[in-house]
Amino acid sequence: MSGFGKGCHLHLIDGSAFIFRAFHALPPLTRKSDGLPVGAVQGFCNMLHKYVADNAGPDAPTHAAVIFDKGSHTFRNDLYDEYKANREAMPEDLRPQIPLTRKATEAFNIACKELEGYEADDIIATLACQARDAGGRVTIISSDKDLMQLVGDGVEMLDAMKNRRIDREGVIEKFGVGPERVVDVQALAGDSVDNVPGAPGIGIKTAALLINEFGDLESLLDRAEEIKQPKRRQTLIDMRDQIELSKRLVQLDCDTPIDFGLDDLEVRDPDPEVLMPFLAEMEFRSLSKRIAEHLGVEAPIIADAPPPPSDAPDAPSFEAADYACVRDAEALEAWIAQIRERGWVAVDTETTGLNEMVADLVGISLCVEAGTACYIPLTHKAGATDDLFGEEGLAEGQMPLEEALALLKPVLEDPAVLKIGQNMKYDAKIFARYGVDVAPIDDTMLLSYALHGGLHGHGMDTLSERYLAHSPIPIKPLLGSGKSAITFDRVPIDDAVPYAAEDADITLRLWQTFKPLLHQSRVTTVYETLERPLVPVLAQMERNGIKVDRDTLSRMSNAFAQKMAGLEAEIHELAGETFNVGSPKQLGEILFDKMGIEGGKRGKTGAYATGVDVLEDLATEHDLPARVLDWRQVSKLKSTYTDALQTHINPETGRVHTSYSIAGASTGRLASTDPNLQNIPVRTEEGRRIREAFVAEPGNLLVSLDYSQIELRILAHIAGIPALKAAFAEGQDIHAMTASEMFDVPMEEMTPDVRRKAKAINFGVIYGISGFGLARNLRIPRAEAQGFIDRYFERFPGIRAYMDETKAFAKEHGYVQTLFGRRIHTPEINAKGPRASFAYRAAINAPIQGTAADVIRRAMVRMPAAIEGLPAKMLLQVHDELLFEVAEDAVEDVIARAREVMEGAADPAVHLDVKLTVDAGQGANWAEAH
DNA sequence: GACATCACG
DNA sequence: GACGTACGTGATGTCC
């Protein structure tokens, strides 16, 4: 290459951002041999490898460098000694890893640059300017807003996390001005993270407004007298020096005295002779294997590896794996022998659909060690050979389903053979329909949930990509999509084998990866008491289903349809034209443009907001929004409940079978899908009637047991609030007690309104209270809401301490914990900006909501044994409620036993200072039982 | 497929 | 002092 110039493309990676991201995104990891923390280094290497691997295309960079900060004192500190003064100290675990990330960059043979006394941003600015002036392109890999001033003229940014490019338009979207005026806006708005003062009372929005009006900062300051708002005018006049200082702080230096040139940054291939030893030194086993594979060299042998649960010393790559197709009893028996020899097997089923209540078994995959897997096709259809009667034969070369199941059943039910699956509830339910009761089990999805809850999803694709660096064969090309989609039994066996067997292979490798980590992360008990044992319990509940009366729903649907039609006519009449009432966009235009109602607020997409709270405010003055609210309620009830629910009634059982996701919610709660039976209406009279359609079989009753105020009780325990504990012990009305404390109203004189306020505050505390949130909820001025909160903290001082401690814990560890040891990761807690506030509130809430979720999980796990022998079935869980179907004469027995289990569910693992109490109800339908 | 809305705890 | 805010979910309809 003859020097940097036109046609060249320079990539500049913000090294510090990479390190911090790697550090916070990953669980702590130490080097086995000496305990040196290396998690961030590993994450950093992962990102570099991904970066290198992703940049092979025609748009590949010709030049690249990773830029680091160096030294804590920069010229900005000379300008302003408070610059970055409120930044928190670097975490202890991260400090020793910083020099290692530099070594890593060099090991990857990527230029690694820094300059004493200068921030990485200034070096990036200098290089970007040089490259631009030479006529080349530049991509800055960072999402730091301070770098946005450099965008334009061939310079772009790339947010590697979101894989989003930020160009001139992106900058305007963020700052309201073009890149050349970004520093002016920043000078006015300041930056709390870097402690740039700016002008008090002016944020980005206002700053952009002013700059756009006056052209640039200098003109604005010179002509500050012309500003109409008196306060703003005075601020700009008084604060001129501070604003000008701020500008010098945010302005990047394009002239740093670097001692190298663009030509030194030419992209070079990594040298395996250097890279491999470095990875070996770090003891990155799987990463070095992966990179060795990518470079086509031998992976280094890293001594002192922890013994994997597999006896396979070197797992073959997925590409090299050769999967078997099992077509007869003899071959299957050979596999079964291998399984018995080892004592475990990864299992995966292929079926005709996602609904386990309906789907039929098509084939089974087994894997006994990494790379050694098979697929047993069972009911694949022959190709396009259907005859006139639509009868289709089975494809050739499959063993009879019954024969295969007869051979496998003893193994699948053998207590000495562990069956490993990814989302085993699905497979267990399928097998159950064929008379096979799979046990014991391990579930890689649940292992990941216990280990990484809150960090990422736990689907197989995610886990495989993250932990095995392998993208599973996608199912789409096999099945097609849309109308022409086929079911798995129509996939040719030859195509099915690699796909299906690979799933079992991946599952086994994930198990080998995760299982040893359980102990290290101290979540073995969580997995073994709260996750794994729930699988058979939920499988049984889902198979039980709940009887839903179609006629009741159908009648309600008709009534709703009539009511909607009437309301719609009224609404059109009021609007003076017909429009789609269900379209928030059209409704907004009618209300705020056509009718000219004041106070329409536009959301981020530019459409008017027309949510309930907006319409409720308008409804006091206008009829139309009031009618729309009515229409919406009816429309919701009809479409989501009376209509959709009917389609979920299983024709064979006459019941509705929901599916619970165990690893969906980050806090440990379950989530119900297809249909969601955890959000059946109850708060309004009209909605509650939907529950009349959920009925018991003749001779039975529905029995509902729910925890009373479980989250507040847990809060009282965790935060140690004597007043709350005492109130619960005495069985007082907790919201009334709170109100009495806070507003100095004796309990006898309590009014509903005062109690309502206290209730909102109690909930607010659980949610990580803020003045703004409470103000909005209660529709009171923010200052008043803040006053309530201050008073609450004064009266219940333990709350404040709990919040502070929880926040500190999250910041230090990257996760928070429930009383039972469940970890909920909060990777964003150390982010900057509003994301951190989100993470903060979620971190406050997670231990409370999560502990409540753990409690009911424990109750559910114990429930089958507790009601054994009684004519009762557990049907549904709704977070703090369990619903049973019970023969009439056994109702009292079941209530007594279930209540005992639920009230004692925390014991013996945790002794709560506050007792848990359970309310019970019964009736012919769910409305009566609740 | 994103977004707005609304049902639940 | 200003960001943009209540926590956790799933399903539906509109609109591009």
Question: Structure tokens of A315?
Answer: 């797992």
Amino acid letter at A55?
N
pLDDT of residue A384: 57
At residue A383, does pLDDT exceed 50?
yes
Question: Structure tokens of A299?
Answer: 């992976």
Question: Structure tokens of A106?
Answer: 């060099």
Which 910-929 residues of chain A approach strand B with CB closer than 7 Å? none
Q: What angle do CA A186, A191, A193 make, to 5 degrees?
A: 145
In whole angstroms, give the CA distance from residue A187 to residue A146: 11
pLDDT of residue A549: 97
Q: Using 50, 70 and 90 to split pLDDT, how confident is the model at A929?
A: very high
Strand B reaches within 7 A of the A626 CB: no
CA→C1' distance for A51 and B4 (Å):
36
In whole angstroms, give the CA distance from residue A930 to residue A921: 6
pLDDT of residue A388: 52
**Closest residue to B7 (CA, C1′):** A679
Strand B reaches within 7 A of the A476 CB: no
CA→C1' distance for A594 and C1 (Å):
39
Cβ-based neighbour number of residue A315 at 10 Å: 21
Q: Which CATH architecture has domain A315-521?
A: 2-Layer Sandwich (3.30)
Q: Name the closest nucleotide to A678, judged by C1' and CA.
A: B8
Strand B reaches within 7 A of the A632 CB: yes
In whole angstroms, give the CA distance from residue A444 to residue A522: 17
Amino acid letter at A661?
S
pLDDT tens digits, A811-833: 999 999 999 999 999 999 988 88
Question: Structure tokens of A586?
Answer: 């059209």
**Closest residue to C10 (CA, C1′):** A676
**Closest residue to C13 (CA, C1′):** A582
pLDDT of residue A627: 96
CA→C1' distance for A642 and C4 (Å):
37
> What radius of gyration, in Å, describes the C-alpha atoms of chain A?
32
Strand B reaches within 7 A of the A611 CB: yes
At residue A298, does pLDDT exceed 90?
no
CA→C1' distance for A40 and B3 (Å):
36
Please spell the DSSP secondary structure of A126-191, one letter per residue: HHHHHHHHTT-EEEEE---GGGGGG-BTTEEEEETTTTEEE-HHHHHHHHSS-GGGHHHHHHHH-B
Q: Which sign, positive or negative, has the C-alpha torsion A755, A756, A762, A765?
A: negative
CA→C1' distance for A870 and C6 (Å):
43
CA→C1' distance for A430 and B6 (Å):
34
At residue A310, does pLDDT exceed 50?
no
pLDDT of residue A195: 85
At residue A253, does pLDDT exceed 80?
yes
CA→C1' distance for A854 and C8 (Å):
14
CA→C1' distance for A246 and B4 (Å):
39
CA→C1' distance for A642 and C14 (Å):
21
CA→C1' distance for A800 and C7 (Å):
17
Backbone angles phi, psi at A822, to 5 degrees: -65, 135
For the entire predicted model, the pTM comes to 0.69
Per CATH, domain A667-721+809-930 is 3.10.450.50: no
CA→C1' distance for A239 and C4 (Å):
26
| CATH fold for domain A9-265 | Rossmann fold (3.40.50)
* Cβ A315 vs Cβ A370: under 8 Å: yes
- Reference A325, options A409, A398, A394, A411; nearest CA is A398
At residue A423, does pLDDT exceed 60?
yes
In whole angstroms, give the CA distance from residue A803 to residue A846: 12
**CATH assignment of A559-656?**
1.20.1060.10
pLDDT of residue A305: 43
- A12-37 burial, b at 16+ Cβ within 10 Å, e below that, comes to bbbbbbbbbbbbbbbbbbebeeeebb
Kindly report the bases of strand C lying within 7 A of a protein C-beta atom. Answer: 1-16
> Mean per-residue pLDDT for A304-326?
68
Q: Using 50, 70 and 90 to split pLDDT, how confident is the model at A307?
A: very low
Q: Cα separations (Å) of A406 from A431, A437, A899? A: 12, 13, 41
pLDDT tens digits, A865-911: 999 999 999 999 999 999 999 999 999 999 999 999 999 999 999 99
**Closest residue to C5 (CA, C1′):** A773
Q: Name the closest nucleotide to A580, judged by C1' and CA.
A: C14
**Residue intervals in chain A for CATH 3.30.70.370:** 667-721+809-930
* Cβ A131 vs Cβ A258: under 8 Å: no
On the question of a cis peptide bond just before residue A440, with omega within 30 degrees of 0, the verdict is: yes
Strand B reaches within 7 A of the A410 CB: no
Kindly report the bases of strand B lying within 7 A of a protein C-beta atom. Answer: 3-9
More confident residue, A200 or A398: A398
**Closest residue to B9 (CA, C1′):** A879
Helices and strands in chain A: count of H runs, count of E runs = 38, 23
Q: Using 50, 70 and 90 to split pLDDT, how confident is the model at A483?
A: confident
> Mean per-residue pLDDT for A213-232?
90
Strand B reaches within 7 A of the A206 CB: no
> Mean per-residue pLDDT for A307-312?
45
In whole angstroms, give the CA distance from residue A796 to residue A848: 17
At residue A616, does pLDDT exceed 50?
yes
pLDDT of residue A655: 96
- Reference A40, options A29, A54, A56; nearest CA is A29
CA→C1' distance for A530 and C2 (Å):
42
pLDDT tens digits, A52-106: 888 877 778 999 999 998 877 888 988 888 888 777 677 767 887 888 999 999 9
pLDDT tens digits, A733-775: 999 999 999 999 999 999 999 999 999 999 999 999 889 999 9
CA→C1' distance for A573 and C13 (Å):
23
More confident residue, A700 or A516: A700
At residue A313, does pLDDT exceed 60?
no
**Closest residue to B8 (CA, C1′):** A679
pLDDT of residue A515: 93
pLDDT of residue A41: 93
pLDDT tens digits, A100-156: 999 999 999 999 999 988 999 999 999 999 999 999 999 999 888 899 999 988 999
Give rounded-to-5 percent helix, strand, coil for chain A: 50, 15, 35
Three-class secondary structure assignment of A744-770: CCCHHHCCHHHHHHHHHHHHHHHCCCC
**Residue intervals in chain A for CATH 1.20.1060.10:** 559-656
Per mean pLDDT, which range of A18-32, A230-244, A373-387 is the poorest?
A: A18-32
At residue A795, does pLDDT exceed 90?
yes
At residue A1, does pLDDT exceed 60?
no
**Residue intervals in chain A for CATH 3.30.420.10:** 315-521
pLDDT of residue A311: 42
**Closest residue to B4 (CA, C1′):** A584
* Cβ A89 vs Cβ A135: under 8 Å: no
Long-range contacts of A153-160 (CB under 8 A, 24+ apart): A155/A128, A155/A131, A160/A47, A160/A51
**Closest residue to B6 (CA, C1′):** A636
* Helical pair A752-766 and A710-719, crossing angle rounded to 10 deg: 60
CA→C1' distance for A774 and B7 (Å):
22
Cβ-based neighbour number of residue A373 at 10 Å: 29
Q: Name the closest nucleotide to A880, judged by C1' and CA.
A: B9
A919: three-class secondary structure by DSSP: strand
CA→C1' distance for A787 and B4 (Å):
33
Q: Cα separations (Å) of A699 from A653, A695, A891? A: 17, 11, 11
**Closest residue to B5 (CA, C1′):** A611
Averaged pLDDT of chain A: 91
